[in-house]
Chains A and B, each alone.
Chain A
Amino acid sequence: MSRYYLAWAKDEDVREKGANGGFVTATLVSALETGFIDVALVVKKKSVYEGIPILTSNPEEVKECAGSLHGTPINLTKYVVDYAAEKRVGLPAKPCDARGIIEQAKRRQVNLDNIFMIGLNCGGTVHPLRMREMAADFYGLDPDSVVKEEIKEGKIVLISKEDEGKEQENWMKIDELEQKGYGRRDACKLCVTKIPTSADLACGNWGSNDTKKTFVEVLTAKGEAIFKNAMDSGYVEIEEAPGEGIEKRKKVEAGMQKLAESWKEKLDEISKLSRSGRFEFYVDALKNCIHCGACKEVCPVCPCEANAKCLDMNDEKDSYVVSMYNMLRIFHLMDSCIHCGECEDVCPVDIPLTLIQRRFSERMQRRLGYTPGMDVREKPPLYETELRWSAEEE
């Protein structure tokens, strides 16, 4: 069995509704109907700006969730851990979902044999608030009237109820918007994991020669099993991927990674500061923290429950310069942060956590030569007994 395919759903409705041929939806539906998985974890669209993760065994409900949502930056890891750890579950997984689940598996929170991750190539997501601002500021739309959102030829397309079906002149390139401070989330701008190589399948339109065909890469034996299941039960049709498609996909990925590298300097305001300036920055940013624990709750890496050490050792009465909660959370993520940016999204006082966590963890991970969320056999270095490098090297 080769690794690369073009695949699409046989069902015309699903093919039409899905972003690129409905392969992901069809695979999940077939797996549910044949009993290959118990439940599917999918994100149900509520509006352009809102999606709700649902755990369902009803194939009809999965079909309703076809199509991509760019304005709902949800990480599904904690939903798997909390609600589906005992079941055979299939889910569409962005690179950060897949990496989060791998990290949880390393910490024995989930059994990876029961989780089928249908990976999605991901160029990034947009924060719903930024999306609303873009609709109002650049497209002259009432944010609530927007009914459709997509990313087409590098442009963010927002369509209101009245304009449905019409081409618009004022659609803007993502690049342009990002130069003005809008566009994707900071975490996504900086992300270099665009293809979920730690998932079971990697699907997307990169490298596909038809907008209604999905380019699929089979990554694991589990991925092969769910792919075969969908094929045998007659839900998807496939063809060999053309050679130029594989090249094209690689090129798109490399281009994205290059763009991410160029963002690194622009978004890192701390690198210009001196040592004491850096200290001031961190103290200033973290002093607003109200210790609600929301960033810990959504963190796809953190396996702790309500009695987590960071919350347990924190006491408001201490009135430390930097609270124990922040110190411990940053410390514990130094080797394992996957830079998904969920913490910043949920922070009620808007602490720039994407930047802070990245500053701390990136240098440590570079030194360790360790990338979290990629290989389930690699133990998190903080739990190791031996150093990952020999002491004589330094």
Chain B
Amino acid sequence: MGKRLAENKWEPKILAFCCNWCSYAGADAAGMERRQVPPTIRVIRVMCSGRIDPAFVLMALLEGADAVLVTGCHIGDCHYVNANNKTRNRYEFLKEFVDELGLEPERLWLRWISASEGFLFAEMVREVTEKVKEIGPSPLRREWKK
């Protein structure tokens, strides 16, 4: 950590919202299967992806996340009947919002991951990290004066 600070090397910070029943278990499975997951990701567990208020995503971006990942159960598999359909609807709004604000579309992701898809979770985190490294730090991140 100290070394990295000294080099002043930027590593992306990615925030993932994971639903309790599918994608959080999927992240767990990725660990159980000993898959390599880049350490750029921070996970917040929510009971359902339908619980993710768009305000949470916007706040995450404002707080300095370089990308936000919204994950949930596959459509039709939701523990709460159809709440992930709402997530999908809100995500479309967020996508337009982020694009219009002038952020790159790669700052926002939506993925459906079931409890058994540990490999998908690891793959997704790798892909997101790669893409975000390409586009660089978020312009919404505050730069403190030295």
Listed in ascending order, the chain A residues whose CB lies under 8 Å from chain B are 275-282, 309, 313, 318-322, 324, 327-328, 330-331, 334-335, 359-360, 363-364, 367, 381-382, 384-387, 391
Please name all residues of chain A whose beta carbon is closer than 8 Å to the beta carbon of B97 when the two chains form the complex.
330-331, 334, 360
CB contact list, B39-69 vs A, under 8 A? 54-55, 58-59, 62-63
Q: Given A334-B97, A360-B97, A367-B96, are A387 and B88 also a contact pair (CB < 8 Å)?
A: yes
Which residues of A have CB within 8 Å of B96?
Answer: 334, 360, 363-364, 367
Q: What residues of chain A lie closer than 8 Å to B89, measured between beta carbons?
A: 381-382, 384-387
15 A/B residue pairs, CB under 8 Å, sorted by A: A276-B139, A279-B102, A279-B103, A282-B101, A321-B62, A327-B55, A327-B62, A363-B96, A364-B93, A382-B90, A385-B82, A385-B85, A385-B86, A386-B89, A387-B85
Taking the closest CB of chain B, its distance from the CB of A312, in whole angstroms, is 10
Given A313-B55, A382-B90, A386-B85, A321 and B140 contact (CB-CB distance below 8 Å):
yes
Chain B neighbourhood of A359, CB < 8 A: 100
CA A321 to CA B10, docked complex, whole Å: 20
Smallest beta-carbon distance B55→chain A, Å: 6
B92 at the A interface (CB under 8 A): yes
What separation, in Å, do the CA atoms of A257 and B101 have in the docked complex?
28
Task: Write out the residue numbers on chain B whose beta carbons fall within 8 Å of the beta carbon of A386.
Answer: 85, 89
A321-B140, A324-B55, A382-B93 are known; give 14 further A-B pairs, CB within 8 A.
A279-B102, A309-B55, A313-B55, A324-B59, A331-B54, A331-B97, A334-B97, A381-B89, A382-B90, A384-B89, A385-B82, A385-B89, A386-B89, A387-B92
| Residues of chain A lying within 8 A (CB to CB) of residue B88 | 387, 391
Inter-chain contacts of A331 with B (CB < 8 A): 54-55, 58, 93-94, 97
Q: How far is the CB of B73 from chain A (nearest CB, A)?
A: 15
- B103: which A residues are within 8 A, CB to CB? 279
Q: A275 contacts B93, CB within 8 Å?
A: no
Tell me, rounded to whole Å, the shortest Cβ–Cβ distance linking A144 to chain B: 43
Q: A275-B102, A385-B82 are in contact. Are A318 and B62 (CB under 8 A)?
A: yes
Q: Which B residues touch A385, using CB under 8 A? A: 82, 85-86, 89
**Complex: A335 Cα to B97 Cα, angstroms:** 11
B81: min CB distance to chain A, Å: 10
Which residues 86-132 of B sit at the A interface, judged by CB distance below 8 A? 86, 88-90, 92-94, 96-97, 100-104
- Asked whether, in the complex, the Cβ of B140 is within 8 Å of the Cβ of A322, the reply is yes
Bound-complex Cα distance A331 to B92 (A) = 12
Closest 6 CB pairs of A and B: A279-B102, A278-B102, A320-B62, A327-B58, A364-B96, A385-B85
Known: A282-B102, A330-B97, A387-B89. A324 touches B62 (CB 8 A): yes
Does chain A have a CB within 8 A of B142? yes
A283 to chain B, nearest CB (A): 8
List the B side residues contacting A319 at CB < 8 Å: 142
Q: How far is the CB of A310 from chain B (nearest CB, A)?
A: 9
How many angstroms from the CA of A330 to the CA of B100 in the assembled complex?
11
Chain A residue nearest in CB terms to B103: A279
Are A324 and B85 in contact, CB atoms less than 8 angstroms apart?
no
Name the CB-closest residue of B to A277.
B102
User: In the docked arrangement, what's the CA distance between A281 and B102, Å?
Assistant: 9
Bound: A278/B139 CA distance, A: 12
Q: Which residues on B sit within 8 Å (CB–CB) of A384?
A: 89
Once A309-B55, A386-B85 are accepted as A-B contacts, the answer to whether A320 and B142 lie under 8 Å apart by CB is yes
Residues on A with C-beta less than 8 A from B58 are 324, 327-328, 331
Nearest residue in A to B84 (C-beta to C-beta)?
A385
Chain A residues closer than 8 Å to B101, beta-carbon distance = 278-279, 282, 322
Contacts of B59 in A (CB 8 A): 313, 324
Q: How far is the CB of B131 from chain A (nearest CB, A)?
A: 16
Residues of B within 8 Å of A382, CB to CB, are 89-90, 93
Complex CA distance for A281 and B96, rounded to whole angstroms: 17
Q: Which of A277, A279, A330, A367: most chain B Cβ within 10 A? A: A279
Q: Are B102 and A276 in contact (CB under 8 A)?
A: yes
Residues of B within 8 A of A381 (CB): 89
